[in-house]
Amino acid sequence: MSRRIATWDRSLLPAADFEFVVLADTHYMVDPGDGPVEFSSRRLQTERAASAWEQVASLECPHVFHLGDLVQEFPGTGDFSRAMTSAIEQFSRHDISPHVVAGNHDVGDKPDPTMPTRPVTAGSLEDFHRVLGPSWYSLDLGPLHVVVLNSQIMNTDLPEADVQRRWAEQDLADHSGRRLVVMLHLPPYLDVPGEPGLGHYDNIAEPDRSWLTGLLSTHEVELLLAAHVHFRFFDRVGLTRFLVLGSTSFTRPGFCHLFNSAPPPDHGRDDAPKLGFLLARVRDEGIDLHWLRTDGRTLDDRPPDSHWHTLVTRTSATLPASPLGLTLAHPLSTRTEIPRAWPSAIRQRVRNDYPTLACLELGARAVRVPATDLDDPFLARRLEILRNERVDIIATALWDETLAAGELVGRHEGMADTWEWQLPGIDRPTVPQLDVLRQLQDAGVSQSLSAVVPGEQVPGKQHPRTRTGFRIEDLEELDRTLAGAGVGLDRVACRLPPGWSPVDGPGGIRRVDDLEAIRGVDWQLELDGQDDLESAKWAVMSLMATVGVDNSRLFVGPLVDMDRTMDVCNGLLDSLCNPRPVFHALGCLNTVLSAERVTHLEWSESESVIVGESDTMMLVVPRTPPDGDGLPVVVEAWTQKTGRFRLYDLLEGLVTESSREDLVGCLGARWSRPVLLVG
């Protein structure tokens, strides 16, 4: 795929009262010329920062925050003043005057005898205040009151530390009842609030850590933003959402130990798909957090006169009718300990929050997980955080003779939104199972039913495979069985067969409004193989077809690559938890379909394309490579009716305005992949 500098299309987002941008760890570095550098990606930092500032400027938000580490040098080094002056010039040329947070590269490290550079001093702090202004302050942004703190002076003997502490306590008390946001450079913690502070490069030590988290709780702070680690993390401190931002310029090598993968380029320092900045949109219902990916691109990657824009997609909280769910083959999160190495003197335990953040970025409204995850305190906590972000939890349980369904539901009350009972080896519930379903129904439990049946023959595989989910053709008989027993189910899980197409008729997604006991269907789409383009085609057709059927949802899996299994397949994320094309395609389509409120589609296949069509929308999915430069007849006919339209390249999440006359030129080589036209 082509590399491009993004400009952002926010037209499909809900109305917001206020927007602001937050970026961090730009690390402007004085050009080393031909001199040696520790990592080759260091040579890209400054230009990546320049590209990020340009993209920030294109958003035209009235307020921009920088969460620290403007420069690569440290205070007291020879090039520090020169680097700081150049970093300020870099954003000033875009007429940006950011609210700056003090980082360790800006004023000095936290007080710890194991830290690699000198701690913050009265002199370095004075220099920062002289050049960039106060390092603790507050301001009102629309309905928000934002408090900025200097994490580097916490736990020090500097008199400014006590001044900041007393000021912060008073400022938050004075604004009690307001919607509060706190920003600082160092996170209070990365894994758990009780983790060690001495020798830990990436947190605030005690006692100021507890002082800070106590303030968050006392004043019911809505959002805490931190940076420093060049990786993203997401947690809750009581009622406070706690987000750690990534960098615009490079990733920290040690954190790639989180992934079951070879390290990213430059020994983990150049995991470019993780680079970006934050767009925050303030609404009455909450603050929407959109991670805008810069992918490490520089101004040299910018194509001339590009008319394509990157669509900013909705998050889960702003997609109440989203039909998209995820089946989690892997745990939602895992923990690891980063090996003890500079700059930390201890092994740091860290948590992989990228799958959680991916769920929210996709706009998924439900995830399916084994019920055993609810018995794991760590995973239960991560799932609770998803629920707080408006994502439903469907807990699945195999139903054998040992299952005490009522006890299981009672033990996990308030932890799952729906219980999916999976019938092992059969496609119909037994009479005792029907009795239990009826009892749980009478108790108000939301229930779904699935089947786990072996014996499916797969070409090229020695052993048959196991089907999870009912077959489409079995739904009517299942419905009669349930209705005859007086059982009604909120959902059933039904598997979409491999390679299905919405033009296949009875073999595809069907309506359930003629069923008596089954109120909705969760269609299970299992990605297959390692062809990202084919996966994206299959997924977008499935989501489009689901939207056209009432009470249907689409659950896609795996979220992360399955590359250590008998059936190797690419997921929505690769093994480094970076998006694959199907991720962008589903996220973009999910947002568009929600905004357009599609209710009916006609499907057809002609001229080597599959088309889903309504009066205002057309999805075009090539079946074979395009032949010639003209438009397929079915597309030509639709474009003649609509005049100008919005054209979406789903695989890259791009959008542009076009007309029939300009369509071929706009698409270029994109006819080989799914595109969406919206009149």
What CATH number is attached to the domain comprising 561? Answer: 3.20.20
pLDDT at 304: 62
Q: How many helices (H) and strands (E) does the chain have?
A: 15, 30
Residues 444 and 568 in one domain: yes
pLDDT at 511: 74
DSSP 303: P
What are the residues whose beta carbons fall under 8 Å from the beta carbon of 237, sequence distance 6 or more? 188, 193, 213, 216, 217, 224
Average per-residue pLDDT for the chain: 93
Residues 88 and 141 in one domain: yes
Question: Residue 640 is part of which domain span?
Answer: 602-678
Enter the tokens of residue 76: 């007291």
Question: What's the number of domains the chain is made of?
Answer: 3
Res. 370 pLDDT band, cuts 50 70 90: very high
Instruction: Using DSSP, state whether 628 is helix, strand or coil.
Output: coil
Q: How far is residue 309's CA from residue 646's CA, in Å, rounded to a whole number?
A: 11
pLDDT digits (tens, 9 = 90+) for 46-65: 999 999 999 999 999 999 99
Res. 8 pLDDT band, cuts 50 70 90: very high
Average of per-residue pLDDT across 604-618: 87
What are the residues whose beta carbons fall under 8 Å from the beta carbon of 146, sequence distance 6 or more? 65, 99, 138, 139, 140, 180, 181, 182, 183
- The 10 Å Cβ neighbour count of residue 75 is 23
pLDDT at 626: 64
> Considering the domain boundaries, does residue 333 fall inside one?
no
DSSP 560: B
Residues 671 and 607 in one domain: yes
Of how many residues is the chain composed?
A: 679
- Residue 622 identity (one-letter amino acid): P
**Is the CB of residue 397 less than 8 Å from the CB of residue 408?**
yes
- Residue 2 identity (one-letter amino acid): S
Residues 154 and 265 in one domain: yes
Q: In this predicted structure, which of 174-183, 262-271, 443-452, 496-505 has the lowest mean pLDDT? A: 496-505
> Considering the domain boundaries, does residue 562 fall inside one?
yes
pTM of the shown model: 0.96
pLDDT at 596: 77
| Alpha helix (H) residue ranges in 182-222 | 208-218
Res. 505 pLDDT band, cuts 50 70 90: low
pLDDT at 92: 97
Does residue 679 surpass a pLDDT of 90?
Answer: no
| Residue 666 buriedness (CB in 10 A; 0-12 / 13-18 / 19+) | middle
Average of per-residue pLDDT across 102-131: 95
Rounded to the nearest 5 degrees, what angle is found at the Cα of 274, between the Cα atoms of 221 and 379? Answer: 60
Residues 440 and 581 in one domain: yes
Antiparallel, parallel or unpaired: β 609-613 and 552-557: unpaired
Residues 168 and 100 in one domain: yes
pLDDT digits (tens, 9 = 90+) for 303-348: 665 789 999 999 999 999 999 999 999 999 999 999 988 888 999 9
Residues 298 and 424 in one domain: no
**Residue 503: closest CA among 537, 539, 541, 476:** 541
> Considering the domain boundaries, does residue 312 fall inside one?
no
| Alpha helix (H) residue ranges in 577-632 | 581-596
pLDDT at 1: 38
Res. 608 pLDDT band, cuts 50 70 90: confident
DSSP-assigned states of every residue in 400-414: -TT--HHHHHHHTTT
- The 10 Å Cβ neighbour count of residue 193 is 13
**Residue 595: closest CA among 15, 13, 19:** 13
Q: What is the CATH number of the domain that holds 77?
A: 3.60.21.10
Q: In this predicted structure, which of 194-203, 501-510, 592-601 has the lowest mean pLDDT? A: 501-510
Q: How far is residue 547's CA from residue 207's CA, in Å, rounded to a whole number?
A: 52
pLDDT digits (tens, 9 = 90+) for 117-175: 889 999 999 999 999 999 999 999 999 999 999 999 999 999 999 999 999 999 999 99
Enter the tokens of residue 443: 């108790």
Q: How far is residue 663's CA from residue 672's CA, in Å, rounded to a whole number?
A: 14
pLDDT at 2: 42
> Considering the domain boundaries, does residue 75 fall inside one?
yes
Res. 627 pLDDT band, cuts 50 70 90: low
Residues 179 and 276 in one domain: yes
Q: How far is CA 199 from the centre of its chain?
A: 31
**Residue 670: closest CA among 533, 549, 483:** 533
pLDDT at 512: 76
End-to-end CA gap in the chain: 26
> Considering the domain boundaries, does residue 616 fall inside one?
yes
Of 550, 577, 596, the domain-final residue: 596
DSSP-assigned states of every residue in 43-103: GGHHHHHHHHHHHHHHHT-S-EEE-S--BSS-TTSTTHHHHHHHHHHHHHTTT---EEPP-
Residues 119 and 258 in one domain: yes
pLDDT at 660: 84
Tell me the backbone φ, ψ of residue 346, rounded to 5 degrees: -130, 165
Helix axes 354-362, 377-388, angle to 10 degrees: 30
Does residue 548 surpass a pLDDT of 90?
Answer: no
Q: How far is residue 455's CA from residue 463's CA, in Å, rounded to a whole number?
A: 9
pLDDT at 11: 96
Residues 192 and 247 in one domain: yes
Does residue 633 surpass a pLDDT of 90?
Answer: no
Residues 369 and 237 in one domain: no
> Considering the domain boundaries, does residue 272 fall inside one?
yes
> Considering the domain boundaries, does residue 543 fall inside one?
yes
> Considering the domain boundaries, does residue 22 fall inside one?
yes
Residues 578 and 495 in one domain: yes
Average of per-residue pLDDT across 480-492: 97
Enter the tokens of residue 457: 């023959």
Average of per-residue pLDDT across 454-476: 91
